[in-house]
A and B are shown apart, each in its own frame.
Chain A
Amino acid sequence: MTSSKKTKSKPQQPQQPHEVPKERALRGSTSSLPMVSYISIVGVHTTLWSFVALYLPRTNFLGDLASFAQQAPPKTSQDRPQHPFLEALTTDPTTTLLYICLGAVVLQSWWAGWVREWWLKMGVRGTEDEKRTEIAHLNSRKLSISRDAWGATFATSLMIHFILILFGAPITSLSLKTYFLALLISIMTVYSPAYSIGIPTLGNGSAAIVNRWTWVRLFAEFSISNPIERMLVYSALGTVIGCWLGVIPIALDWDRPWQAWPLTPAFGAIAGYIVSSILAMTVNAVFQLAEEHTRTQQMLAEEKSK
């Protein structure tokens, strides 16, 4: 968090070195995350995620398009029938996953739009003018950036499919299910950072190197320097850990239909995503409050000294 202070204070100080404290406080809040909208968007986002996970698969707006070859109905013991609420989710896991993936595409596009806006506000460096031109330039290329980000998401989904197999997913059978899980994970983890930070490329230009090392710093070293990075890293980690934990109940001999592959890791991933998004929001809010508190303290101290 110390470094996040730096990024905020550095560009400000040369411009308004001796401003009135009130205005300084105002500036501080505009250049950091707009807390109110951030909290409300995270709230809407996580609620929509629960909706996508639990309710979207019960609709059948795709009609016959989404009916995959039915396997033998998942067995459940007669004496303990499963809750009717779960019935629609477990009858065909592939369809469930497909609906969730479709929901995820819409949801993450919307969410990534916000993340990008915040990121551009905080991540682009330089003077106010430079920033403005840079942002304008980036915004004009929104469409191609979005296309690249989706491309990266798709490419990563193939890689994640391979990784899932390495972790023990069946190699030849159930491929479609495994792939939908891989796709879901990659939509949740890759799209937002790819859309806001930009995709890492192999080029030797300084921009490419900086970009690459930003990805390494965030997703391999987990070192965070501002609230946006926190939400990206936390949600990616949360998704992966949730998915990892979701594997555990599969082995239990309860013979429940919801233990079918890949329902538990998929729902684990979604739960992990929601929990970690809220966690990131809480941590961000706490830091913000702490910062504002110190700032008020300073203001008071300055006023007193006057």
Chain B
Amino acid sequence: MLPPRIGLLIWVALIHLTGIYLFTKGFLLTRLSLSDFTTCSDANCGITPTHKRAIFIIIDALRFDFISPNPPIPISPFHHDILTLPQQLTAQDPSRSLIFNAYADPPTTTLQRIKGITTGSLPTFVDMGNNFGGSSIAEDSILKQLKLTGKKLAFMGDDTWMSVFPDAFEPNMTFPFDSFDVEDLHTVDEGVIKHIFPLLEDATKPFDFLIGHFLGVDHVGHRVGPDHPSMKAKLRQMNEVLERVVQQMDEDTLLVVLGDHGMNRSGDHGGDGVLETSAGIWIYSKGQPLTDTSSARPSGLLQFKAFPQAEAPHRSIQQIDILPTISLLLGIPIPFNNLGTVIPELFWRGNNRRGTLEKALEVNAAQIMTYLDTYRSSSSGSELDDAWQSLQNAWNAIDRTQSATDSKLVTLVNFNRVALAACRAMWAQFNPFLMSLGLSILSLGLCASWAIYNGFEDSKQDWAAWLSPRLWKATQSSVVGALVGAAAQFCVSGLLPGVSASQFVLFFASLASTVTMIIVSAPKVTSKTLTSTPIILILHAVAFLSNSFTFWEDRIVPFLLVTSIVPYVLRGFSAPNTRLRYRILGFSLLFTVCVRLMAISTICREEQQPYCHVTFFASSSLPSPPIPVLYLSIPVAIALPYFIERMLHITLADSGVSKTHLRIFLTPTLLAGALYWIMEWADSASVLGEGWAALLRGSRTWIARMSFVWMLAAGGALWSLVPLCLDIQTSFEGEKRQVTIVGYANAFGSPYLIFWGIFLGIVYICTQLTGQVVLALATVALVAFLEVLDSVRDARSIEAAFASATPSSVLDPAATLNFSPPIQFADIVPISLLGLLAFYGTGHQSTITSLQWKTAFLLTPTFNYMLSAFTVVSNSLGPVFLFALAAPLAGLWNTAPLMAAKEEPNVQSDVQAKNEGTKAALGIMMYYLALLLGTAVSAAVLRRHLMVWKVFAPRFMTAALELLAVDVAVLIGVGLGLERITSRLARMFRGRPTSPPEQKEK
């Protein structure tokens, strides 16, 4: 049967899951996708098509300024004025060539943008999670409309399209290429180039609509950033391709070139920064003019926007506007879900300019109104209630305005924009009821954890007997709660829309369970409770209510971390003897210095500018490690295991199997990690020349694979066979046989640290060079803190012994238990914060943009769903996971197995270690749960805040993921690590409980 303390941790984790699930369901938005499609009664919907064919070229991450005729100042030599064809042709003939600055709706990820461009709808936040999985679009799209009119579609490039539109293209004109190999800058582009020109040259004109999706620019951005010679070469290549396309296309073909999104200064994207949402669009026609430049277009229809640091504002549109525009230009109906507006310039042509534009806008507005009507009559229609009145007003205004006037055009455009704004607001619609259910489960979970934590503290050695019945009661009541929930759903489901039966059941089960737990283990509130208020935790959790504190969290964490060590330092001054005094002060200093050094490394958030300098990379636009880190990486990888060995030597726990582990497994793994990333750097910076690229790529993949297998399989196997770091020496003093157990004083801590080292190795490989140095510093800080904790505990127990009636009992190991103070919540706080600091120091932020996609190609050169996801997750959540896994060490470090005292021989040797280890695990769960609660409350309260999708929601999602990582870590730590160690120790000392082993200490 499951030991009760593991059952407890699972129970707490389940409560977390339920709370997160309920809250997320209410908070993250979903959009109902309608499967209707548009049909036009009259031919071509009443608009004369201008072109028979279209070439639709997507240059992934083509930011507006890359093609802008007036790029921002200062001009970058690497990406400005290089792709010059659009501006050249526009200068030559502005009636056939138009450049726009298009606003791409966030999240600015390729899948979302493909959906947006082809369906004309808005992405919702939840969609983004599907970026890896992809999922085919059931909604109406331009591809579907083209198919319906019997047009032939050709495709080449990014294979994301294949997952979205699996059977839209002609099989003999479909050339997909793997899109996730960010390190490969050329394969996709060369594939597109190879296949596009034969189709263009083909005299039979086999295609009506050709999609070419180039990925190179995006990959260069991810890999080396926009300010790099590679970007210049890439853009020049794109320019040449476009020149050839323009040369070869015929007169009735429309050319559209666009970026699906932009990129930020370091070349990444995903968020809603202005650089990420500004994409370029270029529309070109060789034959018929696109627009009439001889007469002025009606003012009030055209918007202008200045790109950051650009001198003049440029014509700006919504990116989805391209969809109705090319639909009508090609003579097909506008897709049903479209919310874009036709671009006025492109219909301001021919003899009846005003009439054409008005007709196009009317078709457009009618399509949007049909969509809104249909959505309103759907099951999610009530979402539109708030905006309906203003939509109606805007719609009625169209009928009231005189036809063939400027104001008619303006009212039409106005209606479309009001509809777009209403839908944007609608899909920021929340379910406050579900959110409050989630919040209440999370809060009750926190209270219950606190109650159990206090119960553990009070029950001391009898905790197992204390815990089992309570856990059993909580389980029983959760079953009852589930039944009540089912019944409640049956009764009130009509009153509360949007809550499903399973959500009711989950809520009531967790509610009953947590409330029962709180009642049966109600903590005694004493004055001690008040004095031990975790002020740091409260400040930390409350800080999430401010957007400033949320995006400066990476600076706040080290500040709080150094603050959290202050009580130990003060304790150090008054320690009872010199040795303890020096130990506490020295290790505290080591700890704080490490923390401060870790805090230097940062990858800045956009919001932190201009007060932040990127130190994780060499510069903000060059994602390679800084030069000093390159020199440091190998020495650090060698020094870290040596440091651990040295620290274990203090308690002689470096004997036994620990030396083997450190020298044969940890050192090679860390070295391999450093080597992998140095080779990666050499490859991307081409320090050795192009000839080496293939060799570097191949060998570094094998290095990573081999060290993974070595550490996980061989290291893990050895540890599980021989976990203990004890060395048993037998000597004879005359007749008497003397058995000495070396390393006994740290019998629990040292094997656990070795166990932890296995995971350290794995996370270390998955971390980039600067992050590796940070992880090493964090490890040093962790061990230093454990030593501080141990010394402070020694100081306390010595004082307690002197204060007791029998001061000499300080020498009696069996009696020390009574004086050894239990760990407190304050002892867990530094470890929790250390995890967060390591998260920030290893180049992460609570933003989607800061995910390090490079790590997806650690174990395989091409994208692999399982392995890439694993390495990216270990890279992002690894630091938090590691320090949650280390939390039980706070209770285990330098704790020796209890001696069975003569009067009570039944005391198990590991009862204290198990209790303290579990308490520490529970403590770190509480810390991260409190942070999650803080972020969830702030996201819920500030859900209409300007920054909610930029700051609060990402921080909430990070906190949720971090909490899950913590839950998994403590379950592995306590369920696997601690369990194995205690069972081995118990077996070792079985049979000799009455003669306590000779202790050789320090």
A contact residues vs B (CB 8 Å cutoff): 165-168, 171, 216-217, 219-221, 244, 247, 251-253
Contact of A251 among B549, B574, B599, B600 (CB under 8 A): B549
User: How near does chain B come to A157, taking the closest CB pair, in angstroms?
Assistant: 18
**Nearest 5 Cβ contacts at the A-B interface:** A220-B573, A251-B552, A253-B548, A220-B570, A252-B548
A168 touching B596 in the complex, CB below 8 Å, given contacts A251-B555, A251-B556, A253-B548: yes
User: B558 to chain A: which residues have CB within 8 Å?
Assistant: 168
B contact residues vs A (CB 8 Å cutoff): 546-549, 552, 555-556, 558-559, 562-563, 570-571, 573-574, 592-593, 595-596, 599-600, 607
Q: B574 near A221 (CB under 8 angstroms)?
A: yes
Q: B574 near A244 (CB under 8 angstroms)?
A: no
User: B552 to chain A: which residues have CB within 8 Å?
Assistant: 251
User: A219 to chain B: which residues have CB within 8 Å?
Assistant: 573
User: B571 to chain A: which residues have CB within 8 Å?
Assistant: 220
CA distance A217 to B547 in the complex (A): 41
Q: A166 near B593 (CB under 8 angstroms)?
A: yes
CA distance A171 to B615 in the complex (A): 14
CA distance A221 to B546 in the complex (A): 35
User: How near does chain A come to B576, taking the closest CB pair, in angstroms?
Assistant: 12
User: B547 to chain A: which residues have CB within 8 Å?
Assistant: 253
Q: A168 near B555 (CB under 8 angstroms)?
A: yes
User: How near does chain B come to A71, taking the closest CB pair, in angstroms?
Assistant: 13
User: A244 to chain B: which residues have CB within 8 Å?
Assistant: 563
CA distance A219 to B566 in the complex (A): 12
User: A167 to chain B: which residues have CB within 8 Å?
Assistant: 559, 562-563
A165 touching B559 in the complex, CB below 8 Å, given contacts A216-B574, A220-B570, A251-B552: no
User: How near does chain A come to B473, taking the closest CB pair, in angstroms?
Assistant: 43
Contact of B559 among A168, A217, A220, A253 (CB under 8 A): A168
CA distance A168 to B556 in the complex (A): 9
Q: Could you jot down 13 A-B contacts, CB within 8 Å? A: A166-B562, A167-B562, A168-B555, A168-B562, A168-B599, A171-B596, A171-B600, A216-B573, A220-B574, A221-B570, A221-B574, A251-B548, A251-B552
Q: B549 near A165 (CB under 8 angstroms)?
A: no
Chain B, interface SS category:
helix
Q: Which of A166, A220, A244, A252 has the most CB of B within 10 A?
A: A166
CA distance A234 to B559 in the complex (A): 23
User: How near does chain B come to A171, taking the closest CB pair, in angstroms?
Assistant: 7
Q: Please, which residue of chain A has its CB at the minimum distance from the CB of B549?
A: A251
CA distance A250 to B359 in the complex (A): 56
CA distance A29 to B60 in the complex (A): 85
User: A221 to chain B: which residues have CB within 8 Å?
Assistant: 570, 574
User: How near does chain B come to A211, taking the closest CB pair, in angstroms?
Assistant: 14
CA distance A247 to B552 in the complex (A): 13
Q: Please, which residue of chain A has its CB at the minimum distance from the CB of B597?
A: A171
User: How near does chain A come to B898, taking the closest CB pair, in angstroms?
Assistant: 31
User: How near does chain A come to B57, taking the closest CB pair, in angstroms?
Assistant: 40
User: B548 to chain A: which residues have CB within 8 Å?
Assistant: 251-253
User: B607 to chain A: which residues have CB within 8 Å?
Assistant: 253
Known: A167-B562, A247-B559. 12 other contacts (CB 8 A): A166-B562, A166-B595, A166-B596, A168-B599, A216-B574, A221-B574, A251-B549, A251-B552, A251-B555, A252-B546, A253-B547, A253-B607
User: How near does chain B come to A96, taking the closest CB pair, in angstroms?
Assistant: 20
Q: B573 near A166 (CB under 8 angstroms)?
A: no
CA distance A247 to B593 in the complex (A): 20
CA distance A247 to B549 in the complex (A): 12
CA distance A168 to B840 in the complex (A): 15
User: A251 to chain B: which residues have CB within 8 Å?
Assistant: 548-549, 552, 555-556
User: A216 to chain B: which residues have CB within 8 Å?
Assistant: 573-574
Q: Please, which residue of chain A has its CB at the minimum distance from the CB of B552?
A: A251
Q: A166 near B592 (CB under 8 angstroms)?
A: yes
User: A253 to chain B: which residues have CB within 8 Å?
Assistant: 547-548, 607
CA distance A165 to B589 in the complex (A): 12
User: B562 to chain A: which residues have CB within 8 Å?
Assistant: 166-168
Q: Please, which residue of chain B has its CB at the minimum distance from the CB of A213?
A: B574
User: How near does chain B come to A52, taking the closest CB pair, in angstroms?
Assistant: 27
User: B592 to chain A: which residues have CB within 8 Å?
Assistant: 166
User: B599 to chain A: which residues have CB within 8 Å?
Assistant: 168
A165 touching B570 in the complex, CB below 8 Å, given contacts A244-B563, A251-B548, A251-B555: no
Q: Which of A168, A171, A219, A252 has the most CB of B within 10 A?
A: A168
User: How near does chain A come to B669, taking the closest CB pair, in angstroms?
Assistant: 31
CA distance A217 to B596 in the complex (A): 29
CA distance A252 to B562 in the complex (A): 21
User: A168 to chain B: which residues have CB within 8 Å?
Assistant: 555, 558-559, 562, 596, 599
CA distance A139 to B324 in the complex (A): 93
Q: Which of A171, A217, A221, A251 has the most CB of B within 10 A?
A: A251
User: B546 to chain A: which residues have CB within 8 Å?
Assistant: 252
User: How near does chain A come to B778, taking the closest CB pair, in angstroms?
Assistant: 16
